Structures are given as structure tokens and as C-alpha cells.
Amino acid sequence: MKKNIAVIFGDGIGPEVTQQSINVLNTIAKTFNHEFEYSYNLMGADAIDKTGDPLPDETITACLNSDGVLFGAIGHPKYDNDPTAKVRPEQGLLKLRKALQLYANIRPVTTYPSLQHLSPLKSKNIEGVDFIIFRELTGGIYFGKKELNADKSQALDECIYSESEIERVSHLAFQYAMQRRKKLTLVDKANVLETSRLWRRVVQDLADQYREVAVDYMFVDNAAMQIILNPKQFDVILTENMFGDIISDEASVIAGSLGLLPSASIGNGAALFEPIHGSYPQAAGKDIANPLGSVLSAAMLLDHFGLTAEATLIREAVDWTLKHNFVTKDIDPVNYYSTSTIGELLCEYIANKVPGQVHETNMELRKSTII
């Protein structure tokens, strides 16, 4: 299979984690006889520094013409700490989501037995947790009218949703639920917000078309608590843009590290794949960041191409590194491996396919090169 992948390294740790994904994809291509071609594109603080624009037109064109987009991370502290900045890196990502009409952001939350001790939550509560957050991605308060009055003493962010925006992402969430444990939880704030009441009405109407799916409704404040107290109750969570942003970071606590969680953003055309973590500027260039969120996003990209065996092999390789304690600093602050070493181990596993065949001597060598 031949595929064109648009790569956006972005900011902070974006380049180093995305590079591991490219190496992994190249190993997959070699092992399974595929051809992946990459174009490299600018977005975020990196793009502002180089062009003055957080999302140059060429990046939009390259993404629109690609089969899929692999993205690293966005953001830089010099903008975070300057509320008056006219251009911001994040504007690039928001504009790209809109340009590609990526209306659904899919964030799976799974746990790994070898990492359960890392979570501040009790193992018995997180064992076997497996749910997916469907976050609406191109509407709501993120994209409503924004205003700051003349004397800068009052600001406005409007939250707006239309029936059709809610319907398209909800259909997708219901379809996923049908393939899974057939449970969908709509997270909203319908006791206060008009937009949330619209979400409830639309989802209630749609539920008639998916009668096998058990639908329940939960206020976001309660959901924030339930995700920590009893995460096993969830199968598919459907929610609007900002609630989804917040609860998906919260849910990463279950997995043990924010560095582990991948995401897919899909819409009408090319889809985009990115780890849910941010640009982690303190770690940039140090080769210590966790590449697994990005690598697992690359696996979701392969799923999107219909390359299921290939995606499964990547996930198997990830499981294998975790099981053998080949982990980065976020997971084990004492005995840790570098970003690039984890990438190499994943590639070795994939090229050899069977774990027993990965040369023990190489492993021992790696263990002695702990940074």
C-alpha cells in the first residue's frame, strides 16, 4: 500500500517523539511491503518563528492532499505567559482542525497491567479500564465569538452548537459503541447550559436509531468525579469540545502517564493523529520524553488506512516495552531509557516480530546505557 503522510513536528518535544513514530512506520513499511511518503510541514510556535504565521497555507494544502496527518505537539511558554500576544501557536492547530473539518476527536483510555502502580488510583479500580472519549472538535466555546471590550475590562467567549454539528459526531460515537460494549454516556451540563440541553435532545433522538446501545447522561462535574471513582463504568463517552479537552487529560491519570495517550481526529477528509500531551517545553531536545503517545497515534493512523495487522503489531511492541520496563523517565524516574532508545526497541521488536527473537544482548547493552 502506498500512502502520503503529512508530518507536522510542531513545538517542544513534538519533533523527537514524532521522529520515533516515523521510524516505527518505516519499519512497518519495510516489514509489510508498504510505501509511506512523508511531507514535512510547519505549524505552531515553530511556524511563527519561521514565517510569522502559526499555520502557513502550504501546511493546509499539504494536509488536505495527504492520506493522513501525523502531528507532534503545540505550544510555547513565551506565548502562555503573555496574554496580550496577537498570534498564538494554538491558533494554528485550531485553524487546521477547522480546515480539515476534523469534527471528532477520539481518545482511547486503556490501562497496562505493568503500569498500574504508577497511577495514584487504586489498582483494583483501574484494572481492565477501557473506554473511549469522543470529543466534538470544531465547535463550542473554542470557535464561538471572542471579544474584549475597548478598555479591556470585560471579555466574552461564546459557546455555540448546531443540531447538525452534534449529530455527526454523535453518530460516530454510537457506531463505535455498537462495536464495543454498547454503552454511551453523554457528558454535559444540561442543568445549566442551553447548548447542553440541545446535545441531550439530539442524542435522545438519535438513540432511537441505535436501540441496542444503552445511553446514559451525566453532568460534567459528576463525570469528573466518576472517572476517578469508578472508571470501569464507561465504554464510550461523548461530549462537547471543552469538556472533552478537560476530562481527557484527567483520564490520562488512569493510564499512569499523559505521555501514553494517543488520539485520532477525524472528519470528512484527511484525518489527523496526535498524542494528547502538550509540547512539554522543559523536556524539549533532551531525548527524555515518552514517545508512546505518538507511536500509538501512528497505530491509529494505520487503523485508519485499514492496516489492522500492522497497527496491532505496533501495540504489541508497545506492550512488550512496557512489560519489560523499557520505559521513559515519566514512568520510571530512576531506571529510564531515552526517547530514541524506546523508538529503536519498538523498531527491533517489529522487525523481528516475535519477542523471543529480539536479541537479548542488545537488550543488555541498552540496559547499560541508561541516561
Residues annotated as catalytic (active site), given as ranges: 142, 189, 221, 245, 249
For residues 245 and 194, give the distance between their C-alpha atoms in angstroms, rounded to a whole number: 20
Binding-site partner at residue 75 among Mg ion, ligand IPM, none, CB < 5 to 8 Å by type = ligand IPM
Give kind and range of the element (H or E) at residue 90.
helix 89-99
CA atoms within 13 A on the CB side of 230: 3
- Indicate whether 90 belongs to the interface with ligand IPM (CB under 6 A): yes
Task: Candidates 46, 90, 245, 287: give the one binding Mg ion (CB under 5 A).
Answer: 245
- Indicate whether 75 belongs to the interface with ligand IPM (CB under 6 A): yes
Least Å from the CB of residue 239 to Mg ion: 13
Give kind and range of the element (H or E) at residue 349.
helix 339-352
Total binding residues toward ligand IPM, as defined by CB under 6 A: 6
Q: Which stretch binds Mg ion (CB under 5 A): 86-94, 191-199, 238-246, 260-268?
A: 238-246
CA atoms within 13 A on the CB side of 191: 7
Q: What are phi and psi of 2, to 5 degrees?
A: -110, 130
- Indicate whether 165 belongs to the interface with Mg ion (CB under 5 A): no
**Running DSSP on this structure, what letter comes out for residue 116?**
G
Binding-site partner at residue 74 among ligand IPM, Mg ion, none, CB < 5 to 8 Å by type = ligand IPM
Q: Environment class of residue 181 by beta-carbon count within 10 Å: exposed (0-12), middle (13-18) or buried (19+)?
A: middle
- Indicate whether 274 belongs to the interface with Mg ion (CB under 5 A): no
Q: Under a CB-based contact definition with an 8 Å cutoff, are residues 297 and 264 in contact?
A: yes
Touching ligand IPM, residues 267-326 (CB under 6 A): 276
Least Å from the CB of residue 257 to ligand IPM: 16
| Residue 134 β-bridge partners | 106, 238
CB nearest Mg ion: which residue? 245
Binding-site partner at residue 16 among ligand IPM, Mg ion, none, CB < 5 to 8 Å by type = none
Least Å from the CB of residue 323 to ligand IPM: 28
Q: Which three cell numbers stand for residue 219?
A: 453532568
CA distances from 109 to 24, 120, 336 (A): 22, 16, 23
Residue closer to ligand IPM (CB basis): 3 or 97: 97
For residues 169 and 265, give the distance between their C-alpha atoms in angstroms, rounded to a whole number: 11
- Find cell 503522510 and name the residue: 5
Q: Which three cell numbers stand for residue 160?
A: 455555540
- Indicate whether 245 belongs to the interface with ligand IPM (CB under 6 A): yes
CA distances from 107 to 31, 124, 300, 364 (A): 28, 23, 10, 35
- Indicate whether 99 belongs to the interface with ligand IPM (CB under 6 A): no
Binding-site partner at residue 287 among ligand IPM, Mg ion, none, CB < 5 to 8 Å by type = none
The SS3 call for residue 275 is strand
CA atoms within 13 A on the CB side of 113: 4
- Indicate whether 93 belongs to the interface with ligand IPM (CB under 6 A): yes
- Indicate whether 14 belongs to the interface with ligand IPM (CB under 6 A): no
Residue closer to Mg ion (CB basis): 269 or 278: 278
Least Å from the CB of residue 11 to ligand IPM: 10
Alpha-carbon torsion 79, 264, 253, 168, what sign?
A: positive
Binding-site partner at residue 173 among Mg ion, ligand IPM, none, CB < 5 to 8 Å by type = none
Residue closer to ligand IPM (CB basis): 16 or 245: 245
- Indicate whether 136 belongs to the interface with Mg ion (CB under 5 A): no
Residue closer to ligand IPM (CB basis): 250 or 316: 250
Least Å from the CB of residue 91 to ligand IPM: 9
Q: Which amino acid is at 294?
A: S
Residues that bind Mg ion (CB under 5 A): 245
Contact residues for ligand IPM (CB under 6 A)? 74-75, 90, 93, 245, 276
